[in-house]
Structure 1
Amino acid sequence: MQENQSSFKPTLGLLDGTMIVAGSMIGSGIFIVSADITRNVGSSGWLIAVWLITGFMTIAAAVSYGELSGMFPKAGGQYVYLKESYNPLIGFLYGWSFFAVIQTGTIAAVGVAFSKFTAYLFPQVSEDLVLFTIGKISISPAQILSIITIILLTYINSRGIKNGKIIQTTLTIIKLLSLFGLIVFGFLAAKGDIWHANWTNAWDLHALSPDGSVSHYAIAAALGAIAASMVGSIFSSVAWENVTFIAGEIKNPKRNIGLSLFLGTLIVTIIYVAANVMYTAVLPLQEIASAEKDRVAVAASNAIFGNAGTYVIAIMIMISTFGCNNGLILSGARVYYTMAKDGLFFKQTGELNKNAVPGFALWIQCIVASLLCLSGKYGDLLDMVSFVVVVFYVLTILGIFILRKKMPNAERPYKAFLYPVLPAIYILLGVAFCVLLVIYKSTYVKWGLLIAGIGIPIYYLAHGGKKKEQKKLKAQS
């Protein structure tokens, strides 16, 4: 019987890191959220602007994280950066939110998206069917299939990093090429009259209802509409930081993490913006806003390929979401591992199995994600936590300024690009986004803060337990 390993094995190169960044970002969002964005902004110019602003913020954050990854090239990523910049409580609140909903909720949502599109090929797994009920909760075949895929990917990743790496790199390359192909075929099928209609008055910002009615905004409400629109584009662009969680398994992490962050976010931003420009070339804005169940890519693919388009997109999204969840599952467990090493999480999560991966951490992540699949509330949870996600991004990037003063002589093999200008711009944009959500979407803020706030008493309970254990060890020695 093989013994558990004591340390991670550096087996991932620059290509693997870049594919983890890109693969974790691209799930189902790019195929869906443009419908809601279009309803909020009502014009092609502002639809593209929302994706450009989000892309700029994402790349700015990613290249800024490069400095932190070079300073702390070890497992845990953002949790470690926040702990070192501020204090263990702030780091724990991030880790708790990450475990309670950010990572596990995303895994659940992506898993169910996989099942929903599988139903195009196999109607037996439709979300509209009911297998059985538990109290007031109805369980669909789609939810069961999503749990099966989460369990399968967890098992594969528990067998070692190489298995997860092969799936991640292969599927991400396939989905990047597939998206690129869809964009190219979309532009080839572009219709001049649709393009002209969509880009006439392209900067007229207004609400566009599915029934075609238009409502104009006052100036302040217009800013709120842009912020509300960005909830979808930001969630389609998060998880790029996942590569920082697996720093212990990256070859030459001081160089390769920063590079993979930049390359991965740049590739995805280009594809996201190009995909949305393509949507406006093949679909009238009204059809984008009123796409059935917000499935804009299905409508666009039908316009490009005819009836076969539905199946083309279904297969693309199945590949995309399966690969996305592999990256999320692979990387998330490393955060809980590092928290456990600090005495702030279940002790067993701080142990590596015989395959040199945190097996127990992978399985408890699997359990929580599966429960969120069953709850049917994963989508609501993701919306509610959008405020908290951006707050932690802002705090992490602000940490660069703090650490420049706190640790001026620390080794920085990679420095934040265009410091202090680019990090400062990101902080301003992030704060503006959060303030606008406080004013216009306070429900998001309340629930997001509640989820994070629950972590405060949990931290002090865990911290108290850690102190007792330390005293006990001292007494024994």
Structure 2
Amino acid sequence: MPADDQGTSVISYRGATAIVAGCIIGSGIFMKPATMAAQVGSPVWLAVVWLIAGLFSLCGALIYAELGAMFPKTGGLYVYFREMYGDFPAFLYGWSGFAVINSASVAAIAFVCADYSNYFLHIPDLPPEVAGAWELPLPFLGKLYPLQHAGVKLIAVVLVLGLTWLNYLSVKAGSALQVISTVIKIAALGMLVAGILLSGKGAAVNFIQPGAMEKHGLALVSGIISALTGAFMAYDGWINVTFMAGELQSPRKDIPRSLTTGLLLSMVVYLLVTAAYLYVLPVDTMAKSPLVAEQAMYAALGNVSSTILAAMVVICTFGAVNGNTMAIARVTYAMGNDRLFFPWTGKDHPRYRTPGNALWLHGGWAVILVISGSFDMLADMFTFVAWVFYLLGGIGFFILRRRMPDYPRPYKTWGYPLLPLLFIVFSLFYVISTVWNDVSAFRSGRTPVINSLLGLAITALGLPLYFYFSRKNKKAG
């Protein structure tokens, strides 16, 4: 499977769409709405935040749809960055994806899946005196306790390794599982929405009635920016299908179609599920609920809600873990193929025609993040870093339009140049305002570190590796 469109082309349009929607819809719709409701204090603004995040994610997706159709190669944004800016920015993107952005996402979603799976499995934790015996201090961030939540972590490790093994054996099997799990999760969420909205136990006024915590002026702007971070995290994963372009049957057609379909489908699901929550929970109640989905289901369906919720979260997160596991290793594989990372990560399995070494490297690192318990803080931090790269990709889109005007473009971004410009302006605003928010939180003592800047600092830790591989390639060439 070389890093081009001559690889094992087994993933159909249906499979590509399942990768987009299945990677997006995971734990976010269960975990983020309560925090977002507290940040904006209004059901209308809550819906607006979901719409803004979805529409700007779609704007970005349309830009990357053109790039994906131009360069239908395994590696996605890493490949585009090499064309736009050269090896150095491409390496930084690939490194940050491996080190934290993508791996932490797999670890975080796997932990949520395992946590709710344990509702049925009942694997016990270690005694408190044992669980707290081993601590790992992290500068600026606090302490990690690897032995805490041992039962849940065991399930998460088995899940990550099991899905890594499946995708190691067969691209086709991983794709088929992704299609099945995505269909089941969307059907399950549809039944959840219907069950709550048809229960008759809510009030339509909740859709427009602001809460006592409603924000105004600068407080509202700050709240919207904070809520957007949660919403963008919930929408993240749409880029993953571009990583697998070399294995799509018709990448030039299917990347644009699957990105558009998958994101629109995810937007509809998020808005409907949020509407269902609001129907039975006023926004103030939602904002104070750590388990908003469970509380909403209990209000509508009674005592069976916990079992139903646990099953739904397991279904949604299982598919997201599989989709991310399948896709993210392709970036590291492409880097290894270009000798910008360890060359053995760019090797195909001789029998299965999968990027086996890269898959196991990612799986092993995700397991370490699960056991350490560091994935949550890293995933939150790197939502910002991911959008820095999305911004650079948007700028690079114009660079390629100017530098390569006659290059074949099977798909051209709708609304050019206005829509890509809008995406760049918004991305720049989001990046700057996130830094401003983080600095304010740090100065007021609400956070021990400036999260966004620490994210950039961790990305910069890959610099020695880049110079090592760059020097090695010069000697070899």
TM over 0.5: yes
Q: How does 1:7-156 map to 2 (within 5 A)?
A: 8-125=7-124, 135-136=134-135, 137=145, 138-139=147-148, 140-156=150-166
Alignment partner of 1:391 out of 364, 388, 393:
388
**1:120-174 CA distance string (max 9 Å, x none):** 2233356997875673122421111101100000000000101101110000000
Alignment partner of 1:343 out of 339, 344, 353:
339
CA contact (8 A) 1:189 1:282 kept: no
Cα shift at 1:444: 2.2
Runs of 4+ in 1 over 4 A off after TM superposition: 4-7, 125-134
Percent identity for Structure 1 against Structure 2:
34
CA distance in 1, matches of 2:406, 2:360: 40
Q: How does 1:232-271 map to 2 (within 5 A)?
A: 232-271=230-269
Cα distance, 1:249–1:224 mapped onto 2, change above 3 Å: same
CA distance in 2, matches of 1:104, 1:437: 22
**1:239-271 CA distance string (max 9 Å, x none):** 111110111110111111111111101100111
SS of alignment partner, residue 73 of structure 1: coil
Structure 2, unaligned runs of 5 or more: 136-144, 440-449
The match for 2:282 is: 284
Alignment partner of 2:463 out of 435, 456, 465:
456
**1:43-73 CA distance string (max 9 Å, x none):** 1011111101011011111122111011100
Q: Taking structure 1 as the reference length, what is the TM-score of the superposition?
A: 0.91
Cα shift at 1:355: 0.5
The match for 1:211 is: none
Cα shift at 1:80: 0.6
CA distance in 1, matches of 2:41, 2:396: 37
Cα shift at 1:447: 1.5
Cα shift at 1:336: 0.6
CA distance in 1, matches of 2:341, 2:308: 43
2:101 alignment partner AA: I
Cα distance, 1:127–1:394 mapped onto 2, change above 3 Å: farther
CA distance in 2, matches of 1:5, 1:450: 32
CA contact (8 A) 1:125 1:145 kept: no
SS of alignment partner, residue 441 of structure 1: helix
The match for 1:380 is: 377
The match for 1:325 is: 321
Cα distance, 1:378–1:422 mapped onto 2, change above 3 Å: same
CA distance in 2, matches of 1:278, 1:120: 24
Cα distance, 1:168–1:344 mapped onto 2, change above 3 Å: same
2:36 alignment partner AA: I
1:298 alignment partner AA: E
CA contact (8 A) 2:41 2:215 kept: no
Cα distance, 1:86–1:436 mapped onto 2, change above 3 Å: same
CA contact (8 A) 1:62 1:262 kept: yes
User: Which stretch has the larger CA shift, 450-459 or 333-342?
Assistant: 450-459
**1:171-200 CA distance string (max 9 Å, x none):** 0000011111111222112445x4325522
Is 1:426 paired with 2:423? yes
**1:306-332 CA distance string (max 9 Å, x none):** 111111111111111111111101011
CA distance in 2, matches of 1:311, 1:56: 33
CA contact (8 A) 2:160 2:367 kept: yes
CA distance in 2, matches of 1:125, 1:182: 30
Q: Size of the alignment, in residue pairs?
A: 453
1:173 alignment partner AA: V
SS of alignment partner, residue 123 of structure 2: helix
SS of alignment partner, residue 236 of structure 1: helix
CA distance in 1, matches of 2:380, 2:131: 27
Q: How does 1:432-447 map to 2 (within 5 A)?
A: 432-442=429-439, 443-447=450-454
The match for 1:369 is: 366
CA distance in 2, matches of 1:133, 1:161: 41
The match for 2:171 is: 161
CA contact (8 A) 2:153 2:371 kept: yes
Q: Taking structure 2 as the reference length, what is the TM-score of the superposition?
A: 0.91
CA distance in 2, matches of 1:266, 1:13: 19
Is 1:403 paired with 2:400? yes
1:174 alignment partner AA: I
CA distance in 2, matches of 1:5, 1:395: 26
CA distance in 1, matches of 2:2, 2:98: 24
CA contact (8 A) 2:88 2:466 kept: yes
2:419 alignment partner AA: L
Cα distance, 1:357–1:274 mapped onto 2, change above 3 Å: same
